[in-house]
Amino acid sequence: MTAAHELEVVAAEVAVCTDCKLHMSRKLAVPGEGPADAELMFIGEGPGFHENEQGRPFVGAAGNFLEELLASIGLSREEVFITNIVKCRPPGNRDPQAVEIEACSGYLERQTRSLNPKVIVTLGRFSMARFFPNTRISAIHGKAQRIGNRLVVPMYHPAAALHQPSLRKTIQADFARLPELIGREGAPVRAEEPPDMEQLSLF
């Protein structure tokens, strides 16, 4: 099965998924989008109001800032793959719960395996915790680390800059380092399995 086909299969499964209670309040599931040969993969936390309405990731105010950040390093959203830890909107934009994250983890793993990106960027503390348990985003943001044989870069969620304008320059500076990280990565290789979600501290 080609990467593009596998991503389509995952998207179709996500659209009708009932593995956790989030499906009961969703309008549209948001599997993620981007080319099957994307070298850069972004993993956010969960869909918000606009994403739930459109079935696409990062289409609200945070999405506008993400597109601005991508443009600052010469990329468009059509060149990267964007998804979230959970594929359905948590009611009231609350934080995703551990059981919900676990229910979606198989979809995310299949997407990551199919894409095999050179660099993964986690946006926010919940996606960060998948790769970096028991730490704080303020301590490791922008610092690329290798998980298995894959480079993972934890960053603040773009929405954080909307709530705390002082973070805007920090996020912009972290993004500015991405071209160098992508450029120095050789042929992408598959990463090891992420840690068990039950063992992760999300705070």
Strand segments (E) across 89-165: 119-123, 145-147, 150-155
Q: What pLDDT score does 185 carry?
A: 66
**Cα separation values, 156 from 4, 89, 106, 149, 175, Å:** 29, 19, 24, 23, 10
Please tell me the pTM assigned to this model: 0.89
The overall average pLDDT reported for the chain is: 90
Q: What is the pLDDT of residues 81-120, one digit of tens each?
A: 999 999 999 999 899 999 999 999 999 999 999 999 999 9
pLDDT digits (tens, 9 = 90+) for 135-173: 999 999 999 999 877 899 999 999 999 999 999 999 999
Please state the domain extents for the chain.
3-199
Domain 3-199, what fold? Uracil-DNA Glycosylase, subunit E (3.40.470)
